[in-house]
């Protein structure tokens, strides 16, 4: 990241990023301007949460059909079922942490990991220690050591608390990319990173009703595109960073498109 006084704002000035920001804003506005949103926004929010959780879980290796996720009530079985359950819990929890995020993002991240792990694990809710392994098979980047993780988490926390003029998309993309690159926890880092992205998008006011699930958009773009874009972020080059932000922007657009389709279906059913 840039070392300027407002590095997130500097990323917003990268070539092509303004176009992504504008495209995302238009996509979000289309959903919020739909007539169904005026009467049934809570239903759209609930459906978006389900679809977002399904998309996030798919990227973590549990690619279940939406109706199967909707139908199931017990997610305590095999590894895929537990991943789906973790994604659903995180989606529900994220909305409860918005007021804490700007004051104590590290506390929120710890809570997210604790919720995702949901098991008797002494490492749940804390960053990994020196020598502890990382279970995140989707990401093949070398995992930074615990000292680097601690330093970069602290730097990310300071950026969030300080705020700034960067667009919400840029901040959300950096939070997501930094957490997934660092993999600060021993497990569930992808799920936590995508939940944190959701918190930024909602808490910033870009998507206050949480009806544009970026997680669904990330899932729709596929694991290969996701990993490729993350490699760009991890490279630290302007081109790579811009490509990652654009990828995250496209995910928000696709999430908005899903909710627009849900609105249209509800409108047809009410006709």
Q: What is the pLDDT of residues 99-137, one digit of tens each?
A: 999 999 999 999 999 999 987 678 899 999 999 999 888
Rounded Cα–Cα distance for residues 65 and 237 (Å): 37
Asked if 156 contacts 178 with a C-beta cutoff of 8 angstroms, the reply is: yes
pLDDT tens per residue across span 55-89: 999 999 999 999 999 999 899 888 999 999 999 99
Asked if 129 contacts 180 with a C-beta cutoff of 8 angstroms, the reply is: no
Rounded Cα–Cα distance for residues 110 and 130 (Å): 18
End-to-end CA distance of the chain: 51
**Is the pTM of the predicted complex or chain greater than 0.85?**
yes
Asked if 173 contacts 197 with a C-beta cutoff of 8 angstroms, the reply is: yes
Residue 71 token pair: 């139908």
């Amino acid at each position: 990241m840039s070392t300027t006084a407002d590095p997130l704002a500097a990323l917003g000035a990268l070539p092509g990023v303004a176009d992504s920001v504008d495209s995302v804003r238009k996509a979000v506005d289309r959903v919020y301007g739909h007539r169904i949103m005026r009467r049934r926004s809570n239903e759209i929010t609930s459906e978006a949460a389900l679809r977002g959780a399904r998309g996030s879980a798919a990227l973590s290796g549990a690619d279940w059909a939406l109706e199967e996720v909707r139908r199931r009530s017990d997610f305590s079985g095999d590894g895929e079922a537990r991943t789906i359950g973790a994604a659903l819990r995180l989606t529900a929890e994220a909305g409860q942490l918005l007021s804490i995020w700007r004051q104590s993002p590290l506390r929120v991240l710890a809570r997210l990991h604790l919720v995702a792990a949901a098991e008797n694990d002494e490492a749940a809710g804390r960053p990994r220690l020196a020598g502890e392994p990382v279970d995140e098979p989707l990401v093949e980047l070398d995992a930074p050591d615990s000292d680097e993780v601690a330093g970069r988490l602290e730097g990310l926390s300071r950026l969030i608390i300080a705020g700034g003029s960067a667009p919400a998309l840029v901040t959300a993309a950096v939070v997501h990319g930094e957490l997934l690159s660092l993999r600060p926890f021993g497990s569930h880092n992808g799920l936590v990173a995508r939940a944190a992205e959701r918190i930024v998008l909602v808490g910033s006011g870009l998507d206050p009703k949480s009806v544009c699930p970026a997680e669904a958009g990330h899932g729709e773009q596929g694991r290969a595109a996701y990993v490729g874009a993350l490699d760009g972020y991890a490279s630290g080059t302007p081109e790579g960073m811009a490509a990652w932000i654009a990828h995250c922007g496209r995910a928000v657009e696709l999430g908005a498109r899903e909710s627009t389709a849900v609105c249209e279906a509800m409108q047809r059913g009410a006709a």
